[in-house]
Chain A
Amino acid sequence: MTEAVLPADFSDLEPFAATWCLATEAERYARRMASTMAELEAFYQAGFPRIGEALGYCDKFPLDGLPDDAHHLLQLVHSLIMVAMCVEIWHQPNVIDGADAVLDRVAEPLP
């Protein structure tokens, strides 16, 4: 990364931005399924403690008018929610007993 995409207060999360600032659930789910538990846990350990502050930062702006850096930060929170499923619930990237099932989110609000 040459240029910061997150607000300055969240520079510690910058190493995860390129991987996890993803616009849609489909992208976040695909990234999760393509990750190892070590990768998911590293992101979770760094990012989970910052969720409250991150949302506090973003809440200073209207949701439909987020500056780019806050927009990226919210995308990162969405990814942390996704990754928390693996770290907190399943202890593996895929859903236990989910077999090869897919459930596509085809419409969602953005960001």
Chain B
Amino acid sequence: MALYPKPAEGSWTEHFPGVGTGVLSYEDCISPEFYEAEREAIFKRAWLNVGRVEDVPRVGSYFTKEIEVAATSLVVVRDLTGQVRAFHNICRHRGNKLMWNDYPRAETAGSCRAFTCKYHGWRYDLTGKLTFVQQEGEFFDLDKADYGLVPVHCEVWAGFIFINLAESPEPLQVFLGAMVTDLGGYPFDALTERYDFTADIRCNWKIFLDAFQEYYHVPVLHSQEATPAARPKMPGFEAPYYNLDGPHRMVATSGPPRRLWPTDYQYPIEIATRSGLFGPWNEPDLGDDLPGVNPGGIKAWQMSNFQIFPNMEILIWQTGWYMLYRYWPTSHNTHRFEGSLFFPPARTASDRAAQECAVVMFKEFALQDAGMLVGTQQGLESRAVRDDFPLNDQELLVRHFHNSVASWVDDYQRAHPVSVTR
């Protein structure tokens, strides 16, 4: 029996035109050729989140970002006027990687007045302009104005720094669309206590992302999220609200805060730290008006999970904290996961312990996904089953995601027919 009413069409999936209810192919997660197409069609055309404004707090603050899927490294910097800029992280002289610390392939961050190449000492200002050439007189008609760093489109929305590798992309806010930009007023800038995770995972990026956009699997794979007393009482999962907007999608959940559950429905450590899987119990006062977080206006709203195409997720909890995930492909069957959890700054040891409990529990259950999905990759690669995977209504976002990926690849291939006929 349904916990929540379905749309008039009878299901969320049928509510959205064009999504379809047929079986799904997972060839897009096992084909090296499709991966090559995604690199060009998606990761060199879509806006990609590479950080937060807090990563470049002051003039001269910079960080580098390896983007293997686009075979490049970027340097993101706050210039003298406060503008955040991005450049390809290579010196214009002979192509050396410009900013790195201990190892060229490792990301780095810091603060500087200018970028100086370790190789021959060429120097660039924070706007990318070439300002110094060692032994300039030895060169032949070299005009420094012609040899600035190669810029990359860089825009900031709600404190999230995005880059785009296309020549002339549509503006970021147009790309993000109304469903996402309605979140622009959320006080992300008040949630600066931050815990960052990375993992190299042996499955396609979309397989891992899929596990974070459907909760049908939660009562099964993550049965231990419920205590032994609660486990038999847990129904399957249903969401009260889904929404799609262009290639982006979201799901909301509802329910009372975990702190109000019976005590035997919580683990002792959750009660002891006044925190747990759903976050710290003490809620910050973020104001009453949080536009966009609950677009369905559902009652007892608990959290909303926004999947921003192609590889970003923002998950906002009613209790005043949020999570940010990114999935960076590194090959057709591997990717790097980045996850960050953001809270208001801890003032006391109790605040800090409450955050610690939430962050530790996040990792425990994410490890179940990371452990198991290697097996999904292997199963799919057997091709014992092809193009015949049935998805239910609670997997709408999975369906929409793979459709969106296919659509971007199709659009690109139609416009560039030569580059893809292999």
Contact = CB atoms under 8 A, between A and B. Distances in A.
A106 B268 contact: no
Given A25-B360, A96-B224, A107-B194, A63 B372 contact: no
Nearest to B194: A107
Given A59-B348, A85-B364, A107-B196, A74 B224 contact: no
Interface of B: 193-201, 221, 224, 267-269, 272-273, 337, 339, 346-353, 355-357, 359-361, 363-368, 370-372, 374-375
Contact of B197 (A59, A62, A97, A104): A104
B272 A78 contact: no
Given A63-B349, A63-B351, A85-B361, A101 B195 contact: no
A98 B349 contact: no
A70 B351 CA distance: 15
A108 interface: yes
Contacts of B375: 99
A63 to B, nearest CB: 6
Contact of B371 (A51, A52, A99): A99
A95 B268 contact: no
**Which 9 A/B pairs are nearest by Cβ-Cβ distance?**
A58-B349, A99-B371, A101-B370, A84-B269, A98-B367, A107-B196, A101-B371, A98-B371, A95-B367
A48 to B, nearest CB: 7
A84 B268 contact: yes
A52 B363 CA distance: 24
22 contacts: A48-B272, A51-B353, A63-B346, A66-B349, A74-B349, A81-B356, A84-B269, A88-B267, A89-B224, A89-B267, A97-B371, A102-B199, A102-B200, A103-B199, A104-B197, A104-B199, A105-B195, A105-B197, A106-B196, A108-B195, A108-B359, A109-B193
Interface in A34-89: 48, 51-52, 55, 58-59, 61-63, 66, 70, 74, 77-78, 80-82, 84-85, 88-89
A3 interface: no
A73 B15 CA distance: 54
Nearest to B362: A103
Contacts of A85: 269, 360-361, 364
Contacts of B351: 63
Contacts of A25: 359-360
Contacts of A84: 267-269
Contacts of B361: 85
Contacts of B374: 99, 101
A63 B351 CA distance: 9
A75 B359 CA distance: 15
Contacts of A104: 197-199
Given A78-B356, A111-B352, A105 B269 contact: no
Interface of A: 25, 48, 51-52, 55, 58-59, 61-63, 66, 70, 74, 77-78, 80-82, 84-85, 88-90, 95-109, 111
Contacts of B365: 95
Contacts of B273: 51, 55, 81
B364 A52 contact: no
Nearest to A107: B196
B377 to A, nearest CB: 12
A102 B355 CA distance: 21
A96 B200 CA distance: 19
A106 B420 CA distance: 38
Contacts of B366: 103
Contacts of B200: 102
B349 A88 contact: no
A106 to B, nearest CB: 5
B371 A63 contact: no
B221 A101 contact: no
A88 B225 CA distance: 11
B198 A81 contact: no
Contacts of A108: 195-196, 359
A100 B201 CA distance: 10
A51 B272 contact: yes
B418 to A, nearest CB: 41
Contacts of B194: 107, 109
Nearest to B275: A81
A58 B349 CA distance: 6
A103 B346 CA distance: 23
Nearest to B193: A109
Nearest to B360: A81
Nearest to A28: B360
B269 A88 contact: yes
Determine which residue in A48, A78, A81, A85 has the highest number of CB atoms from chain B within 10 A of its CB, and name it: A81
Nearest to B372: A97
